[in-house]
Amino acid sequence: MEPVIPPKPPARPEKVSLRRYVRLFRADLLSAQPAKLYRAWMAEFRTPFFRSYMVNQPELVRLVLKERPDDFPKSGRVSEGLRPLLGESVFLTNGETWKRQRRIIDPAFEGGRLKDTFPAMRAAAAACVRRLEARTGGAIEIEEETSHAAADVIFRTLFSIPIEHEIASAVFHEFRTYQRTQPVVNLAAFVPLPRWMPRFFRRETKAAARKIRGLITRLTAERAEAIAAGGAPDDLATKIMTTRDPVTGEGFGTEEMVDQVAIFFLAGHETSASALAWTLYLMATCPDWQEKVAEEARALDDDEGFGVMGKLRVSRDVFREALRLYPPVPMMVREAACPEHFRDRDVAKGSQVVLSPWHLHRHERIWERPDDFDPGRFATENGRACLRDAYMPFSAGPRVCTGAGFAMVEGPLILSEVLRRFRVHPVEGRVPVPVAHLTVRSKDGIWLQLEPRD
């Protein structure tokens, strides 16, 4: 097969003013970065207020995320813009608060629970196929469909309700508003603001966040009543709400549970939608791989159970490669809690340490043919080494995404269900350009045509 090189955003000029960089950064994280980051082991960025260091060297990434994570807590700068929606969710907290939250949440996502949630995922995948059947022939914006499907998975597995449920539908609608109004970073990402100073969130952003949290509060309160009455379904929400921290004996109160549900929806819906959309685009441009996935997906005809996932190996590698090229969360920011010395530079306490899956996954000194789409690379020696040392679409270490295993079932499953029913084709003149807002999406959408299979 001829190598396929998917599109990536243009890099900015080597030197720009701080004012221009802030403008570029707010518009798109990716094109605001210089091309040298695809080769650099480390780069320094200076502002009048702080120093920022991007680290791409695998040894440094491992140090920050796995070996000494407590010395590099999550930075509050970039996440400030998400607080109206996420409050004190596990995505934003640090230290003992974060550890307590993870002790309560993690049991709900252990291996055995994946098997329990699998029927709900299959139901959401089947509903996605039914919606697509009505849209064959013309060009469709596939991100809209993958967003719908991913939101459906979240509500079915978390609260045992489909996306058509009144509250679920309202949350999905309001979240679309939130996406359109939320800038990628808040002013606090660049200027150190005291806690008492207003963060200047957009009025529409705050209004959408209030509505979403109000709707989630209704769902959470109803579930608490069902648990008290002994009639709650055995889903993720029930598991989390009835789990007590083994250290303190405490569970989540209503407000804290709302915070967690908000991040489950944001992380589980937004990231999965992005990954699925890019995977389907890659399949449209690589018909050979598309047919391999469709052929393998015939296993779904005869096996309804969780064990079928062991037969979807090509789909898994295709989805894994799409996550490499288009990691939904392109950058993560930590803060040095004490002075450090990285390579030949002193890193002062309070400096921002940026870890970039986007650049690490395409690093020219680590990966062979880093810009090529090649799901077969993971069977090579280089591919296996890179999986260990330079692959982190879900972060790594103690703060690895709780739903990583969940996503690696959901993505290949929905991909297989779609491709066994349809052939997907690119739309002429509609080459997607990646941009990073909340996640890596396409600037003007991802447009495809669907053709029903016989």
| Rg, C-alpha atoms of the chain | 22
Handedness of CA 201, 83, 409, 437 (dihedral sign): positive
Q: Rounded CA gap, 232 and 384, in Å?
A: 43
Choose between 32 and 425: higher pLDDT.
Answer: 425
SS3 157: helix
Predicted local confidence at residue 173, as pLDDT? 85
Per-residue pLDDT of 31-77, as tens digits, reads 888 899 999 999 998 877 778 899 999 999 999 999 999 999 998 76
pLDDT tens digits, 94-152: 999 999 999 999 999 887 788 999 999 999 999 999 999 998 888 999 999 999 999 99
Model pTM score: 0.92
- What's the CA gap between 171 and 215, in Å, rounded? 7
Amino acid at 386: C
CATH of domain 18-452: 1.10.630.10
What's the pLDDT at 419? Answer: 98
User: Locate tokens 């009543």: which residue?
Assistant: 225
Q: How far apart are CA 76 and CA 64, in angstroms?
A: 16
Taking only the tens place, the pLDDT of each residue in 265-307 is 888 888 999 999 999 999 999 999 999 999 999 999 988 899 9
Q: Are strands 447-452 and 422-426 parallel, antiparallel or unpaired?
A: antiparallel
Gap between the Cα atoms of 213 and 211, Å rounded: 5
Distance of CA 304 to the CA centre of its chain: 27
Q: How far is CA 39 from CA 34, 63, 364, in A?
A: 10, 20, 6
Closest CA to 257 of 295, 219, 312, 210: 219
The pLDDT assigned to 375 comes to 97
pLDDT number for residue 188: 46
Interatomic CA distance for residues 443 and 454, integer angstroms = 34
Q: How confident is the model at residue 202 (pLDDT cuts 50, 70, 90)?
A: low
Res 3: pLDDT: 67
Cα distances from 184 to residues 79, 150, 301, 438, in angstroms, run 9, 21, 42, 6
- Give the pair of three-digit tokens for residue 277: 């959309």
pLDDT band at 183 (very low <50, low <70, confident <90, very high): low
Q: For residues 237-265, give the mean pLDDT.
A: 93
Report domain extents, the chain: 18-452
3-state per-residue secondary structure call for 166-221:
HHHHHHHHHHHHHHHHCCCCCHHHCCCCCCCCCCCCCHHHHHHHHHHHHHHHHHHH
